[in-house]
Structure 1
Amino acid sequence: MTLLLGMAQVGSRIEAALAAEARMARYATLSTQVSTFLVVATEALQRDLSAEVRADRLAPVVDSIQRTFVRLNDDLEAAVTDARAVGIDRQSRHATQSLTLARMHAALDQSLRGLSQDGRDAAQLRPVVDNFANSFDPLLNEAINGEALFRRETLVGIESLRFRFTWAAVFMACLSLVMAAAFYFGLIHPQFRRLDLLRGAARQIGTQDFAVALPDTRKDEIGALFDETNRAAQALAARQADVQADWDRLNEIIYDRTVALRSANARLEAVDESRRRLFADISHELRTPLTVILMEAQLGRQTAPEASEVFETIETRAARLNRRIDDLLRVARSDSGSLALSLEETSVSALLEEVGEEVRAECASAGMVLDLAPGPGEVLADRNWLRQVLVGLVRNAIRHGRTGGQVRLSCDLAAENVDLSVTDAGPGIPSDKQARIFQRFEQAAPNQAGFGLGLALAKWVIEEHGGQIAVESPVAAPLSDAPGTRIRLRLPRVVR
């Protein structure tokens, strides 16, 4: 309210100062117009113009002077009206300004009457103009000085008002500080102390120390919060005791399970070591007679040329059995989690021919036709592992798609990949089992021979080569009326 009151008083005084400035500007305009009037009247006298011509020449200037008098008179009336709130002294001074304005108006009317008389020469009319100039100029200066005095008094009043309101603001600021201090130390600070106790209790609970006992203070909102915090601490303490008991029981169970797992791991390590020794012993025991058989077959071909075909067959079968031993050792290493690849540029066509030669007898024994469609291209692969994967896929087709009577082993060449496919004409694989057939111990058809490891091993080998394996069933272009199954191996192609 003090600010609004001060702004209102300052605003009224500024308006008064601006009104005085405006009246001074009008007096300046009036001075210019009167100077123009004197110039035109002097020129008319010098040229000895008639009274009618002089009146025509002076008419526009006189009209503008008359309008300025009217505006000044209106301004002074408004100033007198506004000065009622200030006092009778200010009203009287503005009324005096009105009298000065009236005297200036009268001086103008007197000079116009003198100039309008006909039959008088320039020498007779010159005193009229001089008298007007001599009488009007002091009046105009008196009016301007009066307005300047009004403006100066108004500005001085604004400065005095500013000083009074400054001290009022200082007093109110001091009073506000005293009231704020009384409010803080009498009401707020005690509540802050209680909140500090509550914050300390919360920190204590945060460190899992639930021995909290907040004092029983007055029953306001903070007091109710004290009670709830005490109850929460008691409940958390009881819960902590229950959790600690459960944790002790859990530790006992974990300890028992850990002992059992360690014992099981020890047994598994013993079994694994036994398995490793078994594979090493089998490979040693089998390689020794195979080496003798290969040497005897080679000697037989040299010493008995008539039986060279028989010895060549023996040598071929012995070499194949030797590769079987290598495959057996590779499978053993793959089960242990270590797959060592010997990568080399491998011709896809030669690889498929080798696979076909190895499984052709098995296909014929099962009454199936092997359709071999090799193609160009080379891949960077471990030849033995890739051959083993393809042989295993063909044997799966023989085992599960025997009723179709046909197996196709084909190759499709792309810009960056080589796709090897094994397609049968069997009953296919149900869609709900296709996502699991590459997992260990999963079989597409139950009650089938085997352990469900072949496709899992194939997936592992192909992914170690940086390739992909996928199943398609039913086949888009089947070999017969049966849905059929296609296993596709995609390997990076060697681009020269």
Structure 2
Amino acid sequence: MTRFGQPWSLRARLTAGAVALSAVTLMTALTLFLGMERVGDRMQAALNAEARMTRYGTLSSQVSTFLVIATEAVQRGVPREERMQRLEPVAENIGATFILIRSDLERAVGEAEASGIDRQSRHATQSITLARMEAQLRSTLTGLDRGGQDVPVLRAHIDAFASSFDPLLNEAVNGEAMFRRETLKGIETLRRQMIWAAAAMVVLSLLMVAGFTLGLVRPQFRRLEQLRGTARRIGQADFDVALPETRGDEIGALFSETNRMAAALAARQAHVQAEWGRLEEEIAQRTAELRAANAQLEAVDARRRRFFADVSHELRTPLTVILMEAQIGRQTLADGAEIFGTIESRAARLNRRIDDLLRVARSDSGELALDPGPVALAETLRAVVDEVGAECRSAGITLETEAGEGTVLADPNWLRQVLVGLVRNAIRHARDGGKVRIVAAGDTAAVIDNGPGIPAEAQSRIFDRFAQGRKDSAGFGLGLALAKWVIEAQGGEIAVTSPVPDGERLGRAPGTKVSVRLPVAEG
């Protein structure tokens, strides 16, 4: 289908089909409306004829009454004045009926103008008949008024009226009856015409719907189904599609766009595959480089651990000799007991530093080993004070201890190192407070300082891993992250509180309290 040499668009064809169907529907409705209007007019004409026949029946009754009264008055010899008084009301009723019938006929003549001259002439004939009946009535009344008391003359007037009026009335009634029959017959004819017209419209509508469906809708649905199948293939990454581009309508344009989209996606897929291959090569290259770097790191780490082991071995051998010589000198030389005792304690402290060095190295390499056992907290506090007492005095900090009864299940060296690290943190961050207290009782040990405290927003990150210990410290301090790992690995808990509660605070400053809780040793 073309329009001005160009193919019609799908929208134009759908619109044309809808307009055609709407036109048929409108024609059907208009036909039914006009038919119903004509049926209504004819029904009204039949009803009007029925009404006029009813009025003629009323007129017949009134005339019969008139004849009865007139005949009775003549037979009894009623005087003229009295006779006319009796007939006057009946005559007035008959006159009123004549007026109504005449009005009905005038209205019928006006309604018959659209029906043709024949019906108009019939109604005019009815009017002439009505006029003749009125003339008969007036003539009879005149004769009864002027006839005096001559009974034969009066009876002659009455008989003449009865013999002439009745045929006229029958003629009028028969005319209305014929008109009614013709009207009803016309209604039946019109009904059949409307049935045929409606059937023709239905057939035409069905043919148009069938043509619209078979010629336009179904082909477009087939094309849409073809497009849906193509879209499914594209969704499955199959871009080798080619929809026919033979029509210039909207679906044809959609076919063209889909073909272009599939071609673009195919090109994009080829580009992505090429990039993916290049990325895989680069990943393989980077992986090989990482493996080489990991191998180098493992070698470096192995050398570092071997270095620590060698250093520890080389240091422990002379330290063992020093400890033995110091013990022998302290036991054999009375004058040098104090000097050899100092040498022995310093050598023992240096031996612990070597152990700390090995533990830190193992923790960094993931080889941290714990050896938990029963540990008296009071004894651990003494070892901590012995190790960090000099550092506190050098920093101008008073170190207080409060030790109660309590034995926990922990690695003694690691527990000592955790508490030493907490005290060194206090020395570094709370030096201005001038006071640090170590409290141990039951299953808990805590380090409390008199420093500025820790902001609330920073307390959630306080156990993140950071630089361990002080660079100028004689030992290897532990960061809070490593302390948390060590304590929790032994089934314990570590927590920070800042500011310190009033009952435990060491001064006016907010202060910080780090608590360590460990399982209680049984037995």
Q: TM-score, normalised by structure 2?
A: 0.52
Change in Cα spacing, 1:215 to 1:444, as seen in structure 2 (3 Å) is farther
Q: Which residue of 2 aligns with 1:483?
A: 510
How far apart are the structure 2 equivalents of 1:342 and 1:410? 24
SS of 1:240 mapped into structure 2: helix
Change in Cα spacing, 1:481 to 1:443, as seen in structure 2 (3 Å) is farther
SS of 2:452 mapped into structure 1: coil
AA matched with 2:454: I
Q: Does 1:434 align with 2:463?
A: no
AA matched with 2:276: W
CA contact (8 A) 2:438 2:447 kept: yes
Change in Cα spacing, 1:278 to 1:445, as seen in structure 2 (3 Å) is closer
Q: Which residue of 1 aligns with 2:492?
A: 467
Listed one character per residue, the Cα deviations across residues 37-62 of structure 1 (whole Å, up to 9, x for unaligned) are: xxxxxxxxxxxxxxxxxxxxxxxxxx
CA contact (8 A) 2:371 2:410 kept: yes
Listed one character per residue, the Cα deviations across residues 76-113 of structure 1 (whole Å, up to 9, x for unaligned) are: xxxxxxxxxxxxxxxxxxxxxxxxxxxxxxxxxxxxxx
SS of 1:296 mapped into structure 2: helix
How far apart are the structure 2 equivalents of 1:191 and 1:450? 87
How do 1:439-454 residues align onto structure 2 when only pairs under 5 Å count? 439-441=464-466, 454=479
Q: For 2:320, which of 291, 299, 308 is the aligned residue? A: 291
How do 1:76-475 residues align onto structure 2 when only pairs under 5 Å count? 194=223, 197-216=226-245, 226-411=255-440, 413=442, 418-441=443-466, 454-475=479-500
Change in Cα spacing, 1:489 to 1:316, as seen in structure 2 (3 Å) is same
How far apart are the structure 2 equivalents of 1:453 and 1:210? 62
How far apart are the structure 2 equivalents of 1:354 and 1:450? 14
CA contact (8 A) 2:466 2:479 kept: no
SS of 2:242 mapped into structure 1: coil
Q: Which residue of 1 aligns with 2:191?
A: none
Listed one character per residue, the Cα deviations across residues 101-159 of structure 1 (whole Å, up to 9, x for unaligned) are: xxxxxxxxxxxxxxxxxxxxxxxxxxxxxxxxxxxxxxxxxxxxxxxxxxxxxxxxxxx
Q: Which residue of 2 aligns with 1:165?
A: none
How far apart are the structure 1 equivalents of 2:267 and 2:485? 53
How far apart are the structure 1 equivalents of 2:434 and 2:396? 6
Gaps of 5+ in 1: 1-181
- Cα deviation for residue 189 of structure 1 reads 8.0
SS of 1:469 mapped into structure 2: strand
How far apart are the structure 1 equivalents of 2:253 and 2:475? 73
Listed one character per residue, the Cα deviations across residues 402-436 of structure 1 (whole Å, up to 9, x for unaligned) are: 222211001354xxxx3321111123334444333
Q: Which residue of 2 aligns with 1:26?
A: none
CA contact (8 A) 2:417 2:477 kept: no
SS of 1:441 mapped into structure 2: coil
How far apart are the structure 2 equivalents of 1:351 and 1:443? 21
Change in Cα spacing, 1:445 to 1:190, as seen in structure 2 (3 Å) is farther
Q: Which residue of 2 aligns with 1:493?
A: 520
CA contact (8 A) 2:469 2:478 kept: no
CA contact (8 A) 1:380 1:494 kept: yes
SS of 1:440 mapped into structure 2: coil
Root-mean-square deviation over aligned CA pairs:
3.7
- Cα deviation for residue 381 of structure 1 reads 0.9
SS of 1:288 mapped into structure 2: helix
Change in Cα spacing, 1:216 to 1:187, as seen in structure 2 (3 Å) is same
Q: Which residue of 2 aligns with 1:90?
A: none
CA contact (8 A) 1:434 1:444 kept: no
AA matched with 2:486: V
How far apart are the structure 2 equivalents of 1:237 and 1:452? 62
Q: TM-score, normalised by structure 1?
A: 0.55
